[in-house]
Structure 1
């Protein structure tokens, strides 16, 4: 009788822990979808308002003005701020910066709807969604340890950044086209890698729940959502470079 009671208690704890992990994982994707929705609305608003566009783009050349340039680089600064200030920032402050990041990113990406045909934007977005979804499922369900690929993928990201900077001076469209294929491949693999990493974070919260404050768990969900959002965004942008039809 005592053994049966012990087994019942053990099973109930197991179910409770599993629910903690699943709740954390669900919160990550919820925050990711919130950021995606905010960015989409911001991009649509800028695209639909000629007055708003005038604040970001030169009406004669169609290029970004000073404010448009600031809006383009501000999201990167906010990502660095969130990473560096994770321990010092409160949950409310982190959420505020996260929402500001998503808004500014949507503003900076509003040029997509100006440069590319709507059909190709929707098509590439759908393709990115499919790729991201498949790799997320693979990363969550696979028993293969993907952590060993982390350094290789990070090196690939650094290589893409360096190549992009070099191409800013070269201005080669062919080089940009080839680099886009590498970009899709790297961030597709990163999606599976990061999903598995986030799953392990959730399992770590289960096993060491008493060491994690509720606010720290919520902050981890925000940062994890940011990681997945950037993976999805890069897949979409690189696909658009390859298959996007310009106006």
Structure 2
């Protein structure tokens, strides 16, 4: 039934004004994301293909992981927490350095992927992840549907994935691992659209060029970086071919 009331409120529709400020903000967000992915890719390739660097991760005589390898695997979490909780107190240049260090350490930890999976499958999965991410980013940017409730559901599912992954570390169930991977793909595909819409809203409420806008752009870049990397890893667990 058609509603002719001019004051009718569409509760589930989000209207976001697209301004130069918003577009500049999102451009900065994606710039930080691409910088992070570029640094991680270079670090992963360098450590996987340079024997001297690889020896800093795996002891040549014992074939065990070195202390630096464990630092590279667990330190990124500390960097993410530091960036998130220090957003208002840490200066923008320092936050930028922390982000670069985080991306480098993450890339070093991801170098093991290039040792486990074939280069062809890593490349094809990366392209697939890029396509999925791009489609959902466009969907999140262009849709007028409010994705807030949808994003909350995705976050709850993500918490469930984390708990299930920890449990499966003890169960070693290949079936559960595959289920987690498929669910993870769905979650990070959904989170990509949700996060892009959320960042578009943030950009619409900021004045481009001030310190807070720059910091929020960096934080947004980190958020999308995490969405992409986790989507890539989940797809790799499903479609990656081991050496």
Aligned to 2:108: 107
TM-score (norm 2): 0.90
Q: CA deviation at 1:204?
A: 1.1
Separation in 2 of the partners of 1:87 and 1:121?
A: 37
Separation in 2 of the partners of 1:160 and 1:62?
A: 31
SS at match of 2:19: helix
Q: CA deviation at 1:173?
A: 2.0
2:212 to 205, 212, 216: 216
Q: CA deviation at 1:174?
A: 2.1
Aligned to 1:13: none
Separation in 1 of the partners of 2:232 and 2:153?
A: 21
Once superposed, which parts of structure 1, at least 4 consecutive aligned residues long, lie more than 6 Å away? none
Query: Is residue 151–residue 190 contact of structure 2 (8 Å, CA) maintained in 1?
Result: no
Query: Is residue 133–residue 228 contact of structure 2 (8 Å, CA) maintained in 1?
Result: yes
Separation in 1 of the partners of 2:60 and 2:176?
A: 29
1:162 to 2:163 alignment: yes
1:28 to 2:24 alignment: no
1:139 to 2:140 alignment: yes
Q: How has the CA–CA distance of structure 1 residues 63 and 115 changed in structure 2, closer, same or farther, with 3 Å as cutoff? A: farther
Separation in 2 of the partners of 1:94 and 1:22?
A: 22
1:232 to 2:228 alignment: yes
Q: CA deviation at 1:145?
A: 0.3
Separation in 1 of the partners of 2:173 and 2:74?
A: 22
SS at match of 2:59: coil
Structure 1: give runs of 5+ residues left out of the alignment.
1-16
Aligned to 1:194: 195
Q: How has the CA–CA distance of structure 1 residues 226 and 159 changed in structure 2, closer, same or farther, with 3 Å as cutoff? A: same
Q: CA deviation at 1:57?
A: 1.6
Separation in 1 of the partners of 2:94 and 2:181?
A: 35
Aligned to 1:83: 84
Aligned length: 226
Structure 2: give runs of 5+ residues left out of the alignment.
1-17
Q: Counting helix residues as a fraction of each chain, which structure ranks higher? A: 1
Aligned to 1:11: none
Q: CA deviation at 1:66?
A: 2.3
Q: How has the CA–CA distance of structure 1 residues 128 and 63 changed in structure 2, closer, same or farther, with 3 Å as cutoff? A: farther
Aligned to 1:3: none
Query: Is residue 184–residue 231 contact of structure 2 (8 Å, CA) maintained in 1?
Result: yes
RMSD: 1.4
Q: CA deviation at 1:63?
A: 4.7
Residues 60-75 of structure 1 mapped to structure 2, 5 A cutoff: 62-75=63-76
Q: CA deviation at 1:58?
A: 3.4
Separation in 2 of the partners of 1:122 and 1:62?
A: 27
Q: How has the CA–CA distance of structure 1 residues 134 and 61 changed in structure 2, closer, same or farther, with 3 Å as cutoff? A: farther
